[in-house]
């Protein structure tokens, strides 16, 4: 069920929970070279949080910034600042913040002004009944590069095949998670921008409850850290690795099926045209059998050693 704020409220008020009190929560913000946006982002966020009647904290992880970001953050008394001595990656900064968080509910957002942080209290309220709430960038005002939409569509389709779930937004950087749940996956989560993609697939394939809530998405302030070609290839690798880890049958059986189909086609050619069984046919059928057996074995091991 979607949430429709009253029209007479301003932007900082309209996403306040209509009733009840937010559970205590920590907001984790990874930051790297965001001197142009970080001060305004934090000012706007604190303006929203002042209206929240529950304990909270803002944990900012400076991931080895080389500009004035660290200097700007060190002057603020309204945040908990953690600094990496070198740039370790978006996912690594999130892991540091999650481990340091004091409260059982963790919200994450970006420092570049792209996400509507006024909705964070609303997302925190929704987390009472689920394990993760994802701010899905499918709202009325979404500014997103058309070039990035193409590879993202294919990635989402593959992720949905692996998880057998509908995924409105695979890698949104605004979401709310239960610390006790996300900690179970920290060892396998990457240190890169693929962190959010991986946690989405990991939670869906392990039966956790995930809710998607529409949000807007704006132009960022400053230069994007994402490199489209490199990061798209990395996302593919992450989805494959996570799929093999949590849903091996979904990954290996289709490949085995293709080899088996190729083997059957060449077998028919061997019987009706060549009048002999060729090495190609044997190789295709044996490969299909081995992949199928490997998939079954991997799935059995996964089920016997479920730790999540």
Q: For position 111, which CATH number holds? A: 3.90.550.10
Considering the domain architecture, whether residues 186 and 297 belong to the same structural domain is answered as no
Residue 280: C-alpha distances to residues 146, 258, 291, 293 (Å): 43, 14, 16, 20
- Which of 230, 246, 262 finishes a domain? 246
- Judge if 194 and 275 occupy the same domain: no
Is 66 in the same domain as 175?
yes
Q: Do both 30 and 168 map to the same domain? A: yes
pLDDT value, residue 12: 38
Residues 6+ apart with CB under 8 A from 289: 256
Question: Is 3 domain-assigned?
Answer: no
303, pLDDT greater than 90: no
**Contacts for 10-13: CB closer than 8 Å, 24+ residues apart:** 11/118, 12/44, 12/47, 12/48, 12/51, 12/118, 13/51
Lateral strand order in the sheet of 56-63:
80-84, 56-63, 25-31, 105-108, 175-178, 132-136, 210-214
Considering the domain architecture, whether residues 94 and 146 belong to the same structural domain is answered as yes
In a domain, 52, yes or no: yes
- Looking at residue 142, what DSSP letter applies? B
In this prediction, residue 231 has a pLDDT band, given cuts at 50, 70 and 90, of: low
Tell me: the pLDDT tens digits for 44-78?
999 999 989 899 999 999 999 999 999 999 999 99
Query: Does 170 reside within a domain?
Result: yes
Confidence of residue 17 (pLDDT cuts 50, 70, 90): very low
- The answer to whether residues 103 and 55 touch, using CB atoms and an 8 Å cutoff, is yes
Q: Which of 229, 246, 263 is the last residue of a domain?
A: 246
Are 287 and 238 found together in one domain? no
Higher pLDDT, 220 or 191: 191
- In this prediction, residue 235 carries a pLDDT of 67
Q: How far is Cα 260 from Cα 257, in angstroms, rounded to an integer? A: 5
Whether the model clears a pTM of 0.75, i.e. scores above it, the answer is: yes
3-state secondary structure of 210: strand
Residue range 239-277, pLDDT digits in tens: 777 777 778 888 888 889 999 999 999 999 999 998 888
Residue pair 100/186 in contact (Cβ under 8 Å)? The answer is no
Position 7 in a domain: no
User: Is residue 212 within 8 Å of 168, Cβ to Cβ?
Assistant: yes
- Asked if 221 and 98 sit in the same domain, the reply is yes
Note whether residue 136 is domain-resident. Answer: yes
Decide if 39 is inside a domain: yes
Domain count, the chain: 2
Tell whether 97 is covered by a domain. yes
The verdict on 225 and 85 lying in the same domain is: yes
Is there a single domain that holds both residue 220 and residue 148?
Answer: yes
Look at residue 213 and tell me whether its pLDDT is greater than 70.
Answer: yes
User: Residue 97 belongs to what domain range?
Assistant: 25-246
Tokens 């996403």 correspond to: 15
Q: How many residues does the chain have?
A: 308
Instruction: Tell me the C-alpha distance between 176 and 94, whole Å.
Output: 12
Q: Are residues 91 and 150 in the same domain?
A: yes
Which token pair is 127?
Answer: 């987390």
pLDDT digits (tens, 9 = 90+) for 69-97: 999 999 999 999 999 999 999 999 999 99
pLDDT band at 224 (very low <50, low <70, confident <90, very high): low
Mean pLDDT (the chain) is: 86
- Answer whether residue 17 is part of any domain: no
> 156 with 231, same domain?
yes
Q: Is 67 in the same domain as 187?
A: yes
């Amino acid at each position: 069920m979607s949430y429709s704020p009253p029209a007479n409220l301003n932007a900082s008020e309209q996403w306040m929970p209509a009733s009840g009190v937010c559970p205590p929560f920590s907001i984790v913000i990874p930051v790297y070279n965001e001197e142009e946006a970080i001060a305004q982002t934090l000012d706007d966020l604190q303006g929203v949080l002042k209206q929240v009647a529950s304990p909270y904290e803002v944990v900012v992880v400076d991931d080895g910034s080389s500009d004035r970001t660290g200097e700007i953050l060190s002057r603020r008394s309204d945040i908990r600042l953690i600094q990496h001595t070198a740039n370790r990656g978006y996912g690594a900064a999130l892991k540091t913040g999650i481990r340091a968080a004091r409260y059982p509910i963790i919200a994450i957002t970006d420092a570049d002004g792209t996400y509507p942080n006024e909705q964070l209290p609303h997302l925190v309220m929704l987390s009472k009944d689920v394990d993760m709430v994802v701010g899905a960038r499918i709202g009325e005002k979404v500014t997103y590069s058309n070039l990035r939409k193409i590879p993202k569509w294919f990635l989402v389709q593959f992720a949905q095949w692996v998880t057998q779930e509908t995924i409105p937004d695979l890698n949104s950087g605004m979401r709310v998670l239960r610390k006790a749940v996300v900690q179970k996956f920290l060892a396998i989560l990457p240190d890169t921008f693929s962190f959010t993609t991986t946690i989405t697939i990991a939670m869906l394939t392990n039966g956790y409850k995930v809710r998607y809530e529409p949000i807007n998405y704006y132009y960022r302030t400053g230069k994007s850290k994402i490199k489209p070609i490199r990061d798209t290839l990395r996302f593919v690798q992450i989805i494959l690795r996570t799929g093999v880890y949590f849903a091996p049958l979904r990954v290996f059986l289709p490949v085995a099926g293709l080899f088996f189909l190729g083997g059957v086609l060449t077998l028919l050619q061997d019987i009706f045209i060549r009048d002999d069984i060729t090495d190609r046919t044997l190789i295709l059928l044996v490969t299909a059998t081995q992949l199928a057996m490997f998939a079954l074995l991997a799935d059995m091991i996964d089920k016997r050693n479920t730790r999540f």
